[in-house]
């Protein structure tokens, strides 16, 4: 998703023309720390880079601005550990952070660098990790005192409390620059924006609202869920597909529940055999994640359906998913993926991510 969204932004003619206009000058680039492709703008326009994030700065970012934190002491924000780590948690934290860093540096940054090479640097190779270290002057992150980990900070890191609690006030008219500021939206609304970007295109909207069309089946990625509505719109079955193991929420919705104390959530770094602490963490995390998806994501996506597809009619995407899904095709890696009970509506395929699919015959 991140790679596709970045390319979707960069390949727009108006965006591309603007970013490659050699007559423009900027004093500073403000960029969300994800996606990192936009760090290159500070090199392109020869100005400092200020990174912003709506959550605490990640250890990778801290390392890149010369503010390292010990892997055995500073908890990775993706892990459900408290401030005081036991020996097991310290090992998990260190290994997870090391592997996550290797993935970001070895996969994400090179992939993003290819987009920079294609759209911004005119074919010149770019080292985004080195550029981030060289160009970042400041990192502004969001923390919640009492919850966020206490750690050593250099002056280049500014932690602000409560950025997520109230919307920012708009700049006064006389302070809005005409061409002196680049501000890329964070990933907090990425999925919603991407879905709307697809649905509001005139050609897409016209196609999906053509009443003369008929379809035998709708194949949809399980995220974003707005597209589940197409099976209702065209009165046909829904097949969900995912390039990773099916999430517990999806399993529940197709009548294939798995016990929260036994089936590990794919976002957690636990093995197959859970101790008591891990079982509690897994159950609570899965419950809260499900509440977030059902209570926030689905209603937000339903608003887009109402706006672009259902002609103003309210839609219950969770109920629709349960009613219309005939099949879920997921990707697993035997030996790593959790073994669990499966109903016939769930088909697990090995290695979808390893080789690109062959094109359909003419």
Q: What is the pLDDT at residue 65?
A: 81
Per the prediction, the chain carries an average pLDDT of 82
Q: What is the pLDDT at residue 180?
A: 43
| Residue 191 CB coordination number (10 Å) | 18
Range in 37-46, 106-115, 338-347 with the lowest mean pLDDT? 338-347
Q: Which residue did the predictor score with more confidence, 356 or 242?
A: 242
Give the 3-state secondary structure of residue 68: coil
Dig out the tokens for 194 from the structure. 């991407």
d(CA 69, CA 71) in angstroms, rounded, equals 6
Q: Which residue did the predictor score with more confidence, 355 or 39?
A: 39
Q: What is the pLDDT at residue 165?
A: 65
Q: Which residue did the predictor score with more confidence, 272 or 30?
A: 30
Which of 124-133, 270-279, 347-356 is predicted most confidently?
Answer: 124-133
Q: What is the pLDDT at residue 183?
A: 36
Confidence of residue 187 (pLDDT cuts 50, 70, 90): very low
Q: What is the pLDDT at residue 360?
A: 74
Summarised one tens digit per residue, pLDDT across range 150-178 is 777 788 888 887 766 666 666 555 444 44
Give the 3-state secondary structure of residue 345: coil
Q: What is the pLDDT at residue 297?
A: 85
Average pLDDT for residues 127-153, to the nearest whole number? 82
Dig out the tokens for 198 from the structure. 């697809």
Q: Which residue did the predictor score with more confidence, 103 or 270?
A: 103
Q: What is the pLDDT at residue 344?
A: 83
Q: What is the pLDDT at residue 355?
A: 67
Q: Is 178 exposed, middle or buried (0-12, 13-18, 19+ CB in 10 A)?
A: exposed
Cα distance between the two ends of the chain? 28
pLDDT of residue 90 exceeding 90: no
Percent of the chain with pLDDT over 90: 19
Q: Are 120 and 44 in contact (CB under 8 A)?
A: yes
Q: What is the pLDDT at residue 179?
A: 46
pLDDT of residue 82 exceeding 80: no
Residue with tokens 């339903």: 302
Q: What is the pLDDT at residue 86?
A: 87
Q: What is the pLDDT at residue 110?
A: 93
pLDDT of residue 186 exceeding 50: no
Confidence of residue 301 (pLDDT cuts 50, 70, 90): very high
Q: What is the pLDDT at residue 255?
A: 80
Dig out the tokens for 56 from the structure. 């605490």
């Amino acid at each position: 998703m991140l790679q596709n969204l970045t390319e979707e932004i960069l390949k727009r003619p108006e965006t591309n023309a603007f970013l490659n206009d050699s007559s423009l000058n900027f004093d500073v680039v403000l960029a969300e720390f994800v996606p990192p492709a936009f760090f290159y703008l500070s090199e392109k326009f020869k100005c400092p880079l200020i990174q912003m994030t709506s959550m605490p700065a990640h250890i990778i970012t801290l390392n890149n601005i010369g503010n390292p934190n010990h892997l055995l002491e500073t908890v990775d924000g993706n892990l459900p550990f408290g401030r005081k780590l036991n020996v097991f948690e310290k090992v998990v934290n260190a290994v997870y952070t090391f592997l996550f860093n290797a993935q970001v540096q070895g996969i994400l940054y090179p992939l993003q660098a290819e987009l920079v090479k294609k759209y911004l640097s005119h074919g010149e190779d770019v080292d985004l990790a080195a550029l981030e270290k060289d160009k970042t002057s400041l990192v502004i992150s969001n923390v919640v005192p009492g919850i966020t980990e206490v750690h050593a900070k250099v002056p280049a890191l500014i932690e602000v409390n409560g950025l997520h609690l109230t919307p920012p006030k708009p700049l006064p008219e006389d302070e809005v620059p005409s061409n002196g500021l680049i501000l890329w939206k964070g990933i907090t609304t990425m999925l919603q924006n991407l879905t709307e970007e697809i649905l509001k295109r005139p050609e897409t909207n016209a196609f999906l609202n053509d009443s003369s069309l008929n379809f035998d089946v709708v194949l949809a990625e399980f995220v974003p869920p707005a597209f589940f509505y197409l099976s209702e719109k065209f009165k046909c079955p829904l097949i969900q597909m995912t390039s990773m193991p099916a999430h517990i929420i999806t399993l529940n919705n197709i009548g294939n529940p798995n016990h929260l104390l036994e089936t590990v959530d794919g976002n957690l770094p636990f093995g197959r055999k859970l101790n008591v602490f891990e079982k509690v963490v897994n159950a609570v995390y899965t419950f809260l994640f499900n509440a977030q998806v059902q209570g926030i994501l689905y209603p937000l996506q339903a608003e887009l359906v109402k706006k672009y597809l259902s002609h103003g009619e309210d839609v219950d995407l969770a109920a629709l998913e349960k009613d219309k899904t005939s099949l879920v095709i997921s990707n697993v890696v035997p030996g790593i993926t959790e073994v669990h009970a499966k109903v016939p509506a769930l088909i697990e395929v090995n290695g979808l991510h390893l080789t690109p699919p062959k094109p359909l015959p003419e």
